[in-house]
Amino acid sequence: MLSVDEATRLVQSTAQPLHTETVPLAQALGRVLREPLHADRDFPPFDRVAMDGIALSYAAVAAGQQVFEIEHTQFAGQAPRPLHNPQAAIEIMTGAAMPPGTDAVVRYEDLLIAEDNNGRRTVTVQVPPTGPGFNVHRRASDRQQGELLLPAGTLLGPAEVAVAATIGAAQLLVSRAPRVAVVSTGDELVEVTETPLPHQIRRSNAQMLQAAAQQVGATAEAFHFNDDLDSLRAGLPALLQQFDAVLLSGGVSKGKADYLPQALRESGAEQIFHEVQQRPGKPFWFGRHPQGAVVFALPGNPVSTFVNYFRYAAPWLRAVQLPEPTFAAPTYAVLATDVVFKPKLTHFLLVSLQSSPTGQLLAYPERAHGSGDLASLLPSDGFLELPAEREQFAAGEVLPVWRFRW
C-alpha cells in the first residue's frame, strides 16, 4: 500500500498553475497575487511630521535659542509653506510635510506657547530636540521608489491590501479562484433542512468541504448522488469536465454500495492511487480526468474526510493559485503526552494546541471515538502526523502538525 509520503508526492505532481484574472482591490482579500507590485513613490513620500507640535531649524537650537516666534500653522494635507526666518518656528501637525527651512519637530508636551495682546505667538522649547531629523519620518527611510514590495505569489491579507492601496493598485492581477465541486454520496444522507428518519443523517461532509474550500479562496458548488451506479455514471462526467477539482466524500471503501472508484473510472477519470497507509483515511482514492478535474475521493467517515482534506486537498488548492505550485512545509509541535499506536499506518492524531510559557507549541491528544466522531473536531486545533514505522511516541517529541484552526 502507498505510504503517506508517496501519496503526497503524487498529489503534488498534479498541481498546475491556474489562469489569472483582474479583480478590484476590495475583492482581493484571500486571493494570490500573480504580478509583482513595486513602490510607486518613496515610503514615506516626503519628510513626514511624526508628532503634533512645532517644526524649527535644529541649527537654532544648537546655537542655544529657546524661544521662537510662530510664523504660521500647518495642517496635514496642506502644501508646506517655507520657514522665512530661521530663528522662528511653524506650528505643525502629524502627517504634514516638513516645511522647507525646518528639520526637527518638538512635541506640544515638550514646549509652552504664549500669546501677547497683538496675537503674536511665541513658543518656549523646554525639551530640546537632539539633532536634525528629530520626530521626522524621513522620506524613503522605509522603502524606495521602484522597490519590490509584493512578489507574485503573495497571499493577500489585510497588510498586503493596505500596501496595494497606498501605491494606487486599484485593480490586481490574481489567480483565478479554483472551481471546486463538492460531492456527497450515500442513501442515508438528507438535506440540512430536512428532518432525518431514525436511520438517516444530514449531509455534514459536503457543507464542511464547501466551507473549507472557500477558506482557501476556492468557489465551491455542492452536489449529491445516491448510492446508485447509474446516477453516478450520468452525473460525474460533467463535473469532471467543468471543475478544477472534485472533492467527494464516501463510497470509496469495500461496501457493496461503494461504487465511486468504478463510476469515476467509467466517467473518464484515471486512478492515480487507491488506499494509503494511514488512519484515518485509508480508502482515499485519488485520480485525474485527462482534460479536466483532479479528483479527491475522500473516505466518508467525517473525521476521515476532514483530516484528508486538510492533509492533501487544501495544500493542493493553495498551490494551484501560485505562479509555480509549491507546497508549504509543515509546522511542528511538541507532543504533550505519551502515545501508543500499533497499526503499521501513519496516524493523524487530533490534538488541541497550547503555547507553553517557554514558547513551545504543545499538542494535547483529544479524546475521539474513531473517525466517525465528528464532534471530536470541536476541541481540536489540528492533527499530528505520527510516522508509520513506530508504535511508541514519547511526550516531548517534536512532530509535524497540520493546523486547521489558528
- Note the residues at the interface with ligand MOO (CB under 6 A): 279-282, 299, 301, 304, 371
Residue among 321 and 371 whose Cβ is closer to ligand MOO: 371
C-alpha radius of gyration, the chain, whole number:
31
| Interface with ligand LQZAQKY5 (CB under 6 A) | 184, 186, 188-189, 201, 203-206, 249-255, 258, 280, 282-283, 299-302, 304, 371-372
Nearer to ligand LQZAQKY5, 135 or 371 (CB): 371
Residue 359's φ and ψ, nearest 5 degrees, are 85, 10
Quick one: what does residue 47 bind among ligand LQZAQKY5, ligand MOO, none, with the CB cut-off 5 to 8 Å set by partner type? none
Q: Is 79 or 192 the residue whose CB approaches ligand LQZAQKY5 more closely? A: 192
> Per DSSP, what are the bridge partners of residue 364?
352
What cell was used for 177?
479562484
Q: Which is nearer to ligand MOO, 58 or 341 (CB)?
A: 341
Which residue sits closest to ligand LQZAQKY5, CB atoms considered?
A: 300
- The nearer residue to ligand LQZAQKY5, 184 or 267, going by C-beta atoms, is 184
Task: Look at residue 258 and give the partner it binds from ligand LQZAQKY5, ligand MOO, none, a contact being a CB closer than 5 to 8 Å depending on partner kind.
Answer: ligand LQZAQKY5
CB of 248 to ligand LQZAQKY5, least distance (A): 9
Q: Which does 255 bind (CB under 5 to 8 A by kind): ligand MOO, ligand LQZAQKY5, none?
A: ligand LQZAQKY5
To ligand LQZAQKY5, the closest distance from the beta carbon of 251 in angstroms equals 5
Q: Give min distance, CB of 371 to ligand LQZAQKY5, in A.
A: 5
Cβ-contact 18, 325 below 8 angstroms: no
Least distance (Å) from ligand LQZAQKY5 to the CB of residue 335? 24
Instruction: Kindly tell me which of 124 and 200 has the beta carbon lying closer to ligand LQZAQKY5.
Output: 200
Report the alpha-carbon distance of residue 389 to residue 367 in Å, rounded: 23
Q: Which three cell numbers stand for residue 218?
A: 476556492
| Under 8 Å between Cβ of 30 and 187 | no
250 is in the binding site of which of ligand MOO, ligand LQZAQKY5, none (Cβ under 5 to 8 A by kind)? Answer: ligand LQZAQKY5
Cβ at position 174, least distance to ligand LQZAQKY5 in Å:
31
Going by C-alpha positions, the residue among 36, 46, 44, 41 that lies closest to residue 146 is 41
For ligand LQZAQKY5, which is the closer residue by CB, 225 or 404? 225
Overall size of the chain counted in residues: 406
Q: Is the dihedral of CA 306, 159, 27, 21 positive or negative?
A: negative
Give whichever of 151 and 372 is closer to ligand LQZAQKY5, judged by the CB atom: 372
Least separation, in Å, of the C-beta of 221 and ligand LQZAQKY5? 15
CA distances from 51 to 44, 133, 134, 157, 230 (A): 15, 12, 10, 29, 73
